[in-house]
Amino acid sequence: MDRPQKTEGTMGEANLSIGSNLDSTSASRGSETTTTTPPSQSSYQPFLGESNDLVVPPNARIIRPRSLNDIYDAIEDLKAELDTHTVETHTPRPSQFIWAYQIPQGLFTQIETDLELFPGVRTTIAHNDFAVLLKIMPGRQRERITGNFRVIVMGHLNAMGLSLQNGDFTDQGAEITRGFLQSKEPDWAFGPYDARINSAADEYPATEYPSLILETGFSESLGQLQLDAHWWYRNTTQETKIVVLIDVASDNPYRVNFEVWTEVPNQSHAPVTRNCPAEVVQCTQRATLQNGVVTGGPLILSFPTLMRRAPRAGEHDIVLGAADLAIIGARPRPAP
């Protein structure tokens, strides 16, 4: 069995070409099938005005797997390096990302259809390129940040009398979302009740997308997170209008960057065309947590944008103040 081919160092940014859906059959775990067939023409039309291409991080690990075990081995190797860096901060910071390309058709179909293959790893599937981008967070840091953010946002909504139990909104978790040319898992997704996504269906139904997305990163990954913000806006036909980015930027001193990306009018003076839309997404709010001290903020999540309706009595924007941000980004306690 061929081992995955690795390229150390940087690979440069690789824009994926706009392709099409795949017509393939499923494979069992560890399949070494290498036969591929030409893809058919895509039925997903890009949103006019912006490219929907996926950008591969320049420092991503590159593999060409022949089996699931090749991918599992690469994930475990990178997790071990990330865990080592968490303890030994003087060691070089490894990339969070693995780019697996030229995946055999049968194996690729299995990845497309089985959402539980890579637990704890966020997956972006490039359907037209037989490739996947895997994002790994060290230890339980991502789960802690995501969990704290979720609890605090839910707490603010509960204080307004809104709840999951009453069907006011949906906690979509890390459900995979189908874009035009790729599918992507967030760290957390939220939306009003009618924005629920049935990711387990055989077909991806026409449905409203999440209103809010959370993406987290580790060690100099803010640039990639910002590309993620653009991806969500472009690939949800502008329906996802709030993307929160949380980047653990450094260990010594411990620093966490927060950004809120929202829809704003395009300031370009050019006429509105397919290449110059009337609205764009950009960073509108920032804050930083360093050694327990928050600067910047507060971060405000617009209620009408979040819930896709006007606020009623007792309802208002969610304001994430210094105390909230300190809890969300709190440094993990060292292991005993």
Mean pLDDT in consecutive groups of 10 residues from the start of the chain, 336 residues: 41 39 32 32 32 75 95 92 69 82 95 87 89 82 88 96 89 81 89 59 56 86 88 90 90 88 82 69 95 93 95 96 95 64
Q: How many domains does the chain have?
A: 2
Which pLDDT score, from 0 to 100, does residue 220 have?
Answer: 58
222 φ, ψ (degrees, to nearest 5): -60, -40
Task: Return all residues near 262 (Cβ < 8 A) that are at least 6 apart.
Answer: 241, 242, 243, 281, 282, 284, 285, 302, 305
Which pLDDT score, from 0 to 100, does residue 262 have?
Answer: 96
Which pLDDT score, from 0 to 100, does residue 5 have?
Answer: 45
Q: What is this structure's pTM?
A: 0.74
d(CA 105, CA 30) in angstroms, rounded, equals 13
* 127, 179: one domain: no
* 144, 131: one domain: no
CB atoms under 10 Å from CB of 34, counted, come to: 13
* 144, 133: one domain: no
Which pLDDT score, from 0 to 100, does residue 270 have?
Answer: 63
Tell which phi-psi region holds residue 9, choosing left (phi > 0), alpha (psi between -120 and 50) or beta: left
* 164, 258: one domain: yes
* 90, 150: one domain: no
Which pLDDT score, from 0 to 100, does residue 336 have?
Answer: 52
Domain that holds residue 169: 139-198+205-266+277-331
Which pLDDT score, from 0 to 100, does residue 288 have?
Answer: 96
